[in-house]
Amino acid sequence: MRVRTRFAPSPTGHLHIGNARTALFNWLFARRSNGDFILRIEDTDTERSLAEFERSHLADLKWLGLAWNEGPDTGGPKGPYRQSERLDTYLEYAQRLLTEGLAYRCYCTKERLEEVRKRQVAAGMPPRYDGRCRDIKSGSPAGVEPVLRFKVPERQIAFTDGVHGDVIFDSRSFGDFVIIGSDGVASYNFAVVIDDAMMEISHVIRGDDHISNTPRQILLFESLGFKTPSFSHLPLVLGGNRVPLSKRDSSFSVSALRAGGFLPSAIINTIARLGWSPGEGLTGLDELAGSFGIEKLSKSPSVFDMERLRFYNKTAISGADAGYLLNLIGLPADKEDMTAAVEAVKDNASTVVELKGLLSPFIGDVQYPEDALLVLNEPYAKEALKAFREEAENLDMLDDNAYKKIIEGVKKKTNESGKRLFLPIRLALTGERHGIELVNVLRLLGKEKVIERLKRFQP
């Protein structure tokens, strides 16, 4: 049997970390098995599904390196790969169930269903359809568009989950469920079964929030004569507040992290460790695939740790090629001085945004915030800067030895040390309170620029 996995996002928001992990684990499992990874768009929620979110999903997945074998943009032999383009297929299979007596039309109003639900909840019963329309043979209320319900047999549904082991559900806990709405649109549970069967999905790897859908889907697979895939449900990803991440929280979206200066390898390595332990260190996708196994996944929820992401991102930036980093921040990568600047500062950056900030003193005129000017206009600061300039003007090159001589000279002239000595110098040269070592600042700026910037604050 050829392994075929799928990632089937709903384009009702941006791709968030939890869904990105689901995509990653499906991709890793398919890659390790030399199988296929399918991208399918579940866009039957016409009110909330937007083309811009679909484009965002595709762009984010490609940026992460999770390419698919078949999908809405690439096509494939089992398409189309958008549910909105498969509606006729769903209706065809629904009619088959209706003809075989495995489904029926239900004319109950929303008001009646809500009343039934309230009574059941009040009685401590699980809310489920009471079967009123199950045996209606003919006749229907005028002007009522029926839904189509699947006739659920009373039985236990058991399956072996790849993560959780043996799982058993009693069908009486959910009862007859809708497969086609009154608007003619297939329900999630019905559409996903048809799609997985026709696309020959062998392994369904998805979030724990879908585990309660699995018994319904198994019944549909069996009733339609389809082969049931293997199911594995991933414990949810929680935020720092221990609440499951939501696609409506844009701060945890891949696109937001990308805009915040995080590299794809850092995100991949962080989400790979949400419920799995592939080892230490920054690891490539192929290496992750080689060690991945569903049996290795944790049964417990995982907490997304921003500090871990920053750690991996700092590691990724530190090891990245200078030209690659310059391209990311939109700066020319063919200038020797820019490459030298990146190499000098990249070990101090946790994000590309921070990297750009660290580079800013070396790629244009320095900007001085108000709090920096307050320090630089102090008399002691002006004296320190004057002494520093005078010492620098007497040297031909500002290298390590020159820096030591300059500092020794400034200390003798001003009797200043520590923060009162070094902070004014750093602020005058970079406009920032923190950054790379001052000796590297001098080397990157060169004597001419150093003296030019110091002169701005002469008494």
> How many Cβ atoms sit within 10 Å of the Cβ of residue 360?
17
Residue 83 or 393, more confident: 83
Measure the CA–CA gap between 42 and 395, rounded to whole angstroms.
Answer: 68
Beta bridge partners of 106: 147
Q: Rounded to the nearest 5°, which phi and psi values hold at 422?
A: -80, -35
Measure the CA–CA gap between 296 and 132, rounded to whole angstroms.
Answer: 46
Is 419 among the residues known to form the active site? no
Q: Are 216 and 175 in contact (CB under 8 A)?
A: no
The residues, ordered by sequence, that sit 6+ positions from 203 with a Cβ below 8 Å of its Cβ are 3, 4, 5, 26, 29, 162, 229, 230, 232
> How many Cβ atoms sit within 10 Å of the Cβ of residue 2?
10
**Two tokens, residue 450:** 């150093």
**Is it the case that residue 79 has pLDDT exceeding 90?**
yes
| pLDDT > 70: percent of the chain | 98
Nearest residue to 19 via CA among 320, 274, 230, 307: 274
Catalytic residue among 247, 314, 346, 356: 247
With respect to CATH, is domain 365-455 assigned 3.40.50.2300? no
**Two tokens, residue 118:** 């309230």
Question: What is the pTM for the complete model shown?
Answer: 0.91
The residues, ordered by sequence, that sit 6+ positions from 37 with a Cβ below 8 Å of its Cβ are 5, 6, 7, 26, 27, 30, 31, 66, 67, 68, 69
Q: What is the pLDDT of residues 274-291, one digit of tens each?
A: 999 998 899 999 999 999
Measure the CA–CA gap between 27 and 6, rounded to whole angstroms.
Answer: 8
Cα distances (angstroms) measured from residue 72 to each of 42, 79, 154: 11, 8, 38
Q: What is the pLDDT of residues 167-217, one digit of tens each?
A: 999 999 999 999 999 999 999 999 999 999 999 999 999 999 999 999 999
pLDDT reported for residue 32? 97
